[in-house]
């Protein structure tokens, strides 16, 4: 049985389709400081799509913009230094993620101090793997969507493993956006 499409089709608020990293190339994101990040970029009707995004600093060539992973609950697909970035609370007994926003004792942020102020030194993106090498104050960090998706948390509702489909490329999942996105 084929996997459902993971990469969501999006549009900027003005209707333009965002540029994928396949189209623009990785040089656009290299050596740019990260000034903020979010686990909830994107609008989908009345709720959010949960796109993960790094806000990149302005350069002489580019305005401030977001490097955005256009997957539903995208932060749950990512590892930072081999730790889950985020997970559904029913997965916390397996591994405490670095970030949680579920309120009360299920809210913490161990991500911002590692990402904000870091610079993307290297980027390797293939059809089924993404790896960003970040440098923050002389310390290297690895942000990745791993080829071995068994390293990721199970899906919160179904408890099924995350599997990257062979017919989609992560070069198309990462886009450059000026602001928030709407899911088409």
* Tokens encoding 97: 């993620």
Residues 126/170, Cβ–Cβ less than 8 Å? yes
Q: Assess contact for 150 and 56: CB atoms under 8 A.
A: no
pLDDT (mean) for 44-56: 79
Model confidence, pTM:
0.93
Question: Hey, what are 5's tokens?
Answer: 């499409």
Condensed to tens digits (0 to 9), the pLDDT of residues 90-120 reads 999 999 999 998 878 888 999 999 999 999 9
pLDDT at 41: 81
pLDDT value at residue 102: 82
Q: Are 125 and 30 in contact (CB under 8 A)?
A: no
pLDDT of residue 106: 86
pLDDT tens track for 143-152: 999 999 999 9
Closest CA to 156 of 51, 82, 100, 73: 73
Whether residue 122 contacts residue 30, with contact meaning beta carbons closer than 8 Å, is answered with yes
Is residue 39 within 8 Å of residue 52, measured between CB atoms? yes
Q: Which residue has the higher pLDDT, 171 or 12?
A: 171
CA geometry: angle 72, 85, 181, nearest 5 deg: 35
Does residue 154 contact residue 162 with C-beta atoms inside 8 Å?
Answer: yes
């Amino acid at each position: 049985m084929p996997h459902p499409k993971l990469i969501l089709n999006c549009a900027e608020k003005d209707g333009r389709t965002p540029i994928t990293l396949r189209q623009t190339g990785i040089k656009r994101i290299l050596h740019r400081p990260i000034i903020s990040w979010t686990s909830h970029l994107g609008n989908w009707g009345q709720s959010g799509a949960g796109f993960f995004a790094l806000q990149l600093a302005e350069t002489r060539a580019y305005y401030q913009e977001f490097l955005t992973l256009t997957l539903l609950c995208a932060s749950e697909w990512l590892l930072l230094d081999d730790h889950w970035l985020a997970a559904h609370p029913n997965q916390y007994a397996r591994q405490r993620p670095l970030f949680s926003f579920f309120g009360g004792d299920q809210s913490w942020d161990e991500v911002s101090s590692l990402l904000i102020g870091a610079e993307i030194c290297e980027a390797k993106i293939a059809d089924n793997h993404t790896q960003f090498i970040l440098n923050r104050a002389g310390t290297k960090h690895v942000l990745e969507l791993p080829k071995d998706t068994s390293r990721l948390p199970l899906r919160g509702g179904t408890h099924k493993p995350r599997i990257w489909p062979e017919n989609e490329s992560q070069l198309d999942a990462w886009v450059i956006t000026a602001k928030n996105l709407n899911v088409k």
